[in-house]
């Protein structure tokens, strides 16, 4: 999700939930994302994951931003859309996580513990480094329209 405020462009990023990410900020934020279910189209998965991780409703038109490969080999294909929301109202689905790792103990955590709009410069500092090219792609795509 992105929004315009005069000449400024803000992007919505989410912070992952769970004990591993507690206290991590710079380079820890992400676009809302997740796995594509069997038989699901990539855009449909992106829309579903956005809803699940934020509880906010995305809206057309969607701008394809392309794909990046994160550390660990996870491939992320992203779309952007214009919208606005109150990030303090984010409500994420919950998931199970083994914590501490290899302990056999499962805990329940939110996939996302908070969301925030950031200016492009702020977002470049906050986003996972592998996702940074998606911000550049957004700027290029918006310049085309």
- Phi, psi values for residue 114, rounded to 5°: -165, 165
How big is the chain, counted in residues? 145
**What is this structure's pTM?**
0.95
Alpha helices in the chain (DSSP H): 42-54, 120-126, 132-144
Residues in CB range of 5: below 8 A, 6 or more apart: none
Predicted confidence (pLDDT) per residue in 42-78, tens digit: 999 999 999 999 999 999 999 999 999 998 899 999 9
Q: Please report the pLDDT score of residue 71 as a whole number.
A: 87
3-state per-residue secondary structure call for 94-128: EEEEECCCCCCCEEEEECEEEEEEEEHHHHHHHEC
Does position 145 have pLDDT exceeding 90, yes or no?
no
Predicted confidence (pLDDT) per residue in 7-40, tens digit: 899 999 999 999 999 999 999 999 999 999 999 9
Domains, in order of start, for the chain: 2-144 (3.90.79.10)
């Amino acid at each position: 999700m992105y929004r315009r405020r005069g000449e400024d462009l803000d992007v919505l990023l989410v912070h992952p939930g769970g004990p591993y990410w507690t206290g991590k900020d710079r380079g820890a934020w992400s676009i809302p994302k997740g796995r594509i279910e069997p038989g699901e189209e990539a855009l449909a998965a992106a829309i579903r994951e956005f809803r699940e991780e934020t509880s906010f409703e995305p809206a057309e038109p969607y701008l394809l931003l392309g794909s990046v490969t994160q550390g660990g080999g996870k491939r992320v294909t992203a779309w952007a859309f214009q919208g606005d929301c109150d990030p303090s109202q984010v409500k994420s689905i919950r998931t199970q996580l083994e914590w501490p790792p290899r302990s056999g103990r499962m805990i329940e955590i939110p996939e996302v513990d908070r969301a925030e709009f950031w200016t492009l410069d702020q977002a470049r500092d906050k986003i996972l480094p592998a996702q940074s090219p998606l911000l550049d792609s957004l700027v290029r795509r918006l310049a085309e329209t």
